[in-house]
Amino acid sequence: MKMAREIHKEPSGVARKRGRPARPLEDAEARKRLIGSGLAHLTEKGYSGSAVNEILKAAGISKGVFYHYFSSKSDFVDALMEEYDRYFLGKLDACFKDEALAPLDRFNAFAELAAEGMARHEFRRGCLVGNLGQEASVLPEGFDTKLLEILASWQDRVEGCLRLAQSEGQVSNEESAEEWARFFWIGWEGAVLRAKLERSAAPLRAFVDGFLKGITRNTKTA
């Protein structure tokens, strides 16, 4: 049975079992554990391969507590996307807004940070947005639009860094920062998938090396 059918709301009017009533708010970390478990499962196994019961078991959370925080599985995955976007934007800003580095050096810093993160989980986990994008046909309606919006915000970070590189002469003004930023994310998501398959950071570094060679091909050197 599909994942979307694995959890069902209790029908209204059903008497609560005798004993101590469930009090989800007693556990201030419950939602955090749910989000953490959901992200771990979906970045590793994707949407279709992640069973809700398995996510709840790993988090040590009951279905009753789950429904205290989320109205449905769709609501839960929506929250996962928002949390992952916040987390990833922090990583992007740490690299692409690092004033201690020259603009193009920030791409190498980003690749190294990503490689360390993937290696920490033995290359089992990838990008939540990339994973969900590969399963767009089975996602709830409207999720494809949200994924594109997230990618657009990531693209803005890269575009800003490329415009700074142009202002400092690292990249020719003849290049389109917007087009190259879009290309970067199209290629990066493919590199992350390849890194998972190879269990190696080599595809990440290969892509960034190729990207930098491409973006600087028309730049005059002294």
Quickly name the fold that domain 72-215 has. Answer: Tetracycline Repressor; domain 2 (1.10.357)
Q: How far is CA 8 from CA 40, 66, 69, in A?
A: 23, 11, 14
Query: Domain segments of the chain: what residues?
Result: 72-215
- Residues 142 and 140: their CA atoms lie apart, in Å, by 6
Query: In a structure prediction context, what are the per-residue pLDDT tens digits for the chain, which is 222 residues long?
Result: 344 444 334 334 434 444 344 454 456 689 999 999 999 999 999 998 888 899 999 999 999 899 889 988 889 999 999 999 999 999 999 999 999 999 999 999 999 999 999 999 999 999 999 999 999 999 999 999 999 999 999 999 999 999 999 999 999 999 999 999 999 999 999 999 999 999 999 999 999 999 999 999 988 654
How much is the pLDDT for 167?
97
Three-point CA angle 141, 74, 86, nearest 5°:
100
Q: Which residue is associated with the tokens 């087009």? A: 179
How much is the pLDDT for 72?
87
- Residues 82 and 86: their CA atoms lie apart, in Å, by 6
In which region does residue 153 sit, left (phi positive, over 0), alpha (psi from -120 to 50) or beta (all else)? alpha
Whole-prediction pTM: 0.83
- Residues 20 and 41: their CA atoms lie apart, in Å, by 31
How much is the pLDDT for 21?
46
